Chain A
Amino acid sequence: MKILVPVKRVIDYNVKPRVKADGTGVDLSNVKMSMNPFDEIAVEEAIRLKEAGKAEEIVAVSVGPAKAQETLRTALAMGADRAILVETDAEVEPLAVAKILKAIVAEENPGLVVLGKQAIDDDSNQTGQMLAALLGRPQGTFASKVEIEGDSVSVTREVDGGLETVKLSMPAIVTTDLRLNEPRYASLPNIMKAKKKPLDTKSPADYGVDIAPRLKTVTVKEPPVRQAGIKVPDVDTLVNKLKDMGVAN
């Protein structure tokens, strides 16, 4: 079985995003960029399935600018076998990403596509579900456990009320949540080896996908800022404050 892992290049999670003064977006110039953290978890899961003998090949794919190669090299250094960059400088919305992935699935025939549940830049949480819909395949979203059993996969999902387990027929789509695994760091020798692994470059047009955005961004603004308040010296003062708010008597 082959596993396809879509990975997105996003602002590093440790960087505090700043809105551009002209209100057109978030300033990404000279900002550290990394693989979306949920996608690292997706790559790790694919590698573990391969190590467990459940998969033979892992293909990483990214839709984005030329620099997204770095993200793909990270996936290769972690353990993916080859990579596809669908290069574009445009911002591609989840629906269009899902359409591109659908076309890649048609070529590659993976048994599983493992995506992140959410990109930490657009916070959409859509692409995996959309891909599953376009392919008419089942979806195991927000996964904290993935177990392949014959021709089905059992996915334990992090839901608002706790955990839920569903059984999906394969091929299937899975999106990762934080507790699925702890991604490994790529070792130096593996980073070197990754440079020699195959990386194909394509364009959205190669897949016949129209990536024109459906949503127009009118403005991007800073959220209202909270002012820091006061510090109280001791518990008694805090108790009095809580009493003032009517929550203690």
Chain B
Amino acid sequence: MKTLVWVEHDNASVKDATLAAVTAASKLGEVNLLVAGSGAQGVADAAAQIAGASKVYLADDAAYANPLAENVAPLVVQLMAEHDAFVAPATTTGKNIAPRVAALLDVMQISDILSVEGEKTFTRPIYAGNAIATVESSDAKLVITVRGTAFEKAATSGGSGSVEAVSGPGDAGLSSFVSAELAKSERPELTSAKIIVSGGRALKDADTFQEVIFPLADKLHAAVGASRAAVDAGYVPNDYQVGQTGKIVAPEIYIAVGISGAIQHLAGMKDSKTIIAINKDEDAPIFQVADIGLVGDLFTVVPELTNKL
């Protein structure tokens, strides 16, 4: 089987999420990669180094400077004439593009796969991860998104792919990029961090969240996450949200502070290696999944913990 993997990048470097998709694709067969960008030769060269990379298609065009689904989906469809599977990371970019490709190919997408069980058989979470379905596709071609935490990351070196320039249909004239407000942080990125400290509704407001959660995260060199309630209340931006409809994480250590443990939150973090929960309610559902629980008032416990580390 020949697979085409979507390379997630910012025209400067390959994003980590790509690497899990490469691993998933390599279980299906040959791995070719697509770099759609503008001024992205460096990205293509780096992609060619990824272990297992066969060919890297570089579509360099101003129309692909931002991965607008309207513009890139037809490009993917064009390349799919010679591939059997399109594989994208289940990032917001992958989730935006892959279904558009699938519909153009008249294929039912398999979202968020956890494992490859056979040529056309995969497992995927449904109902916020409360059930795992094994599904088998009957379509001629496959369109798949890959859950990043479920596959090892392919090595970023050791590959010897060749870069081939391709040109796509370009600007579809339906949409344009206006602006982005991207969070800048010195802290590790949420989906690749080894330790995450997450805060919930109990943190009161944005200032309190900063004063209580950030120092602990900094002590542990951890990323910062949040529950939906904390994001909705404006304590932190939307990209901090962990859960069914936010980011899926599986760090070595996940520390949930003032988070009750709703199923939608658990869906995003229950594959963490060690879960530590701090909550004043000893019956909070988070304790049912926590390896280590501390019942107490976070406003005294967390500063004390930060001090003693």
Which A residues are within 8 Å of any B CB, using their own CB?
Answer: 11, 13, 16-19, 25-26, 38, 93-95, 98, 117-118, 120-134, 136-139, 141-142, 144, 154, 157-169, 177-179, 213-223, 226, 228-232, 234-236, 238-239, 241-242, 245, 247-248
The A interface, classified by DSSP as helix, strand, loop or mixed, is mixed
Residue B263 at the A interface, CB < 8 A?
A: yes
Interfacial chain A residues near B110, Cβ < 8 Å: 215
Interfacial chain B residues near A142, Cβ < 8 Å: 92, 96
Q: Please give me the 8 A-B residue pairs with the lowest Cβ-Cβ distance, nearest first.
A: A229-B291, A129-B99, A214-B108, A130-B103, A133-B103, A126-B99, A138-B174, A17-B127
Complex Cα distance, B104 from A126, in Å, reads 13
Q: Which of A94, A217, A221 contacts B135 (CB 8 A)?
A: A217
CB of B178 within 8 A of CB of A216, answer no
Number of A-B contacts (CB under 8 A): 259
Surface stretch bound by A, among B25-33, B35-43, B50-58, B238-246: B238-246
Which B residues are within 8 Å of any A CB, using their own CB?
Answer: 66, 68-70, 73, 91-93, 95-104, 106-112, 121, 125-139, 173-183, 191, 195, 219-220, 228, 231-232, 237-239, 241, 244-245, 247, 252-253, 263-264, 270, 274-276, 282, 287-296, 301, 304-305, 308-309
Q: Which of B100, B237, B276 contacts A130 (CB 8 A)?
A: B100
- Beyond known contacts A165-B178, A216-B136, A236-B308: 8 more, CB 8 A cutoff: A11-B127, A138-B174, A141-B69, A163-B180, A214-B107, A223-B270, A228-B288, A248-B219
Interfacial chain B residues near A223, Cβ < 8 Å: 125, 129-132, 270
Interfacial chain B residues near A19, Cβ < 8 Å: 130-131
B213 nearest CB across to chain A (Å): 16
Complex Cα distance, B292 from A138, in Å, reads 47
A82 nearest CB across to chain B (Å): 27
Most buried by A among B136, B237, B294: B294
Which A-chain residue is minimally distant from B301 (CB atoms)?
A: A235
CB of B245 within 8 A of CB of A178, answer yes
Interfacial chain B residues near A124, Cβ < 8 Å: 109, 111
A100 nearest CB across to chain B (Å): 13
Interfacial chain B residues near A215, Cβ < 8 Å: 108, 110, 135-138
Complex Cα distance, B287 from A235, in Å, reads 16
Complex Cα distance, B180 from A238, in Å, reads 40
Which B-chain residue is minimally distant from A154 (CB atoms)?
A: B178
CB of B175 within 8 A of CB of A163, answer no
CB of A129 within 8 A of CB of B96, answer yes
Interfacial chain A residues near B91, Cβ < 8 Å: 160
CB of A226 within 8 A of CB of B289, answer yes
Given contacts A158-B92, A169-B174, A220-B133, contact A133 B232 (CB under 8 A): no
Given contacts A139-B96, A247-B253, contact A164 B133 (CB under 8 A): no
CB of B290 within 8 A of CB of A161, answer no
Interfacial chain B residues near A16, Cβ < 8 Å: 130, 263
Most buried by B among A128, A160, A161: A160
A62 nearest CB across to chain B (Å): 19
Which B-chain residue is minimally distant from A219 (CB atoms)?
A: B134
Q: List 18 A-B contacts (CB under 8 A).
A: A11-B127, A118-B245, A120-B244, A122-B126, A130-B100, A131-B103, A133-B103, A159-B92, A162-B237, A164-B66, A164-B177, A178-B228, A215-B108, A222-B131, A223-B131, A228-B288, A229-B275, A238-B294
Complex Cα distance, B100 from A45, in Å, reads 23
Interfacial chain B residues near A226, Cβ < 8 Å: 270, 275, 288-289
Complex Cα distance, B174 from A135, in Å, reads 12
Most buried by B among A117, A127, A223: A223
Interfacial chain A residues near B178, Cβ < 8 Å: 154, 165-167
Interfacial chain B residues near A137, Cβ < 8 Å: 174
